[in-house]
A and B are shown apart, each in its own frame.
Chain A
Amino acid sequence: DTAVSQTPKYLVTQMGNDKSIKCEQNLGHDTMYWYKQDSKKFLKIMFSYNNKELIINETVPNRFSPKSPDKAHLNLHINSLELGDSAVYFCASSQGTSGSVEQYFGPGTRLTVT
């Protein structure tokens, strides 16, 4: 069973479109994250949700809107896509936010904006 899954795996779209990426975890965790990995392979946190409440928004443009319908799901909706949004987006989860716990990552969604 896949612990953290994301759909779609690949997403190719044009500038100006709106798209969503979905994430689900079956680990029973209460905290979920979105990370972005740019073309230089630099990984950076975007959002964190704990018990369906937003606890981090790392100066991400408001075109990006995360939504957590329940503790097992964290979706990412992106409006008015721009070329610079092309990246790999990773979802992750953990049990709590303590520094002593590990995070589990999904396989990533490669977004290409043309």
Chain B
Amino acid sequence: DAKTTQPNSMESNEEEPVHLPCNHSTISGTDYIHWYRQLPSQGPEYVIHGLTSNVNNRMASLAIAEDRKSSTLILHRATLRDAAVYYCILRDIRGSSNTGKLIFGQGTTLQVKP
């Protein structure tokens, strides 16, 4: 799976939008862009994923650059509960040679200030 680069940490104010960037310049045409997050003392939690088009769900939006070399996870109104480590992960449609494993990087630690 191709590598991703994320800022180590970001800060946001409560009730403001948050844009979490991810660079993946070596992405291949069959790589899905996944986002997971890990709240303190909890297991990782799926957030959203996409291939080429922007995606929205109840948790967040995913904006994918036209060349797919970068993407942005958008939390529309940050709450204190959104403070977590956010991981951007590329997953080949074949699931890493059909193993399905997720390869986690260091992620972005998001702090939300009241």
Q: What residues of chain A have their CB less than 8 Å away from a CB belonging to chain B?
A: 4, 31, 33, 35, 41-45, 48, 50, 55-56, 58, 90, 92, 94, 96-108
The smallest C-beta distance from A4 to any residue of chain B, in angstroms, reads 8
CA distance A33 to B38 in the complex (A): 17
Question: Is B14 an interface residue, CB under 8 A from the partner?
Answer: no
Chain A residue at minimal CB-CB distance from B44: A105
CA distance A18 to B95 in the complex (A): 33
Set of chain B residues within 8 Å of A92, measured between Cβ atoms: 43-44, 102
Question: Is B30 an interface residue, CB under 8 A from the partner?
Answer: yes
> With A102-B34, A105-B43, A108-B42 in contact, do A97 and B99 touch (Cβ < 8 Å)?
yes
Q: What are 6 residue pairs bridging A and B, where the CB atoms are less than 8 Å apart in the complex?
A: A48-B100, A92-B44, A100-B49, A100-B93, A103-B36, A103-B46
The smallest C-beta distance from B37 to any residue of chain A, in angstroms, reads 11
Q: Would A99 and B31 count as touching, CB distance under 8 A?
A: yes
Q: Would B100 and A90 count as touching, CB distance under 8 A?
A: no
Set of chain A residues within 8 Å of B98, measured between Cβ atoms: 55, 97
Question: Is B58 an interface residue, CB under 8 A from the partner?
Answer: no
CA distance A6 to B31 in the complex (A): 31
* Per-residue interface assignment for chain B, residues 97 to 108, with 1 indicating a CB less than 8 Å from any chain A CB and 0 otherwise: 011111110100
The smallest C-beta distance from B36 to any residue of chain A, in angstroms, reads 8
Question: Is B45 an interface residue, CB under 8 A from the partner?
Answer: yes
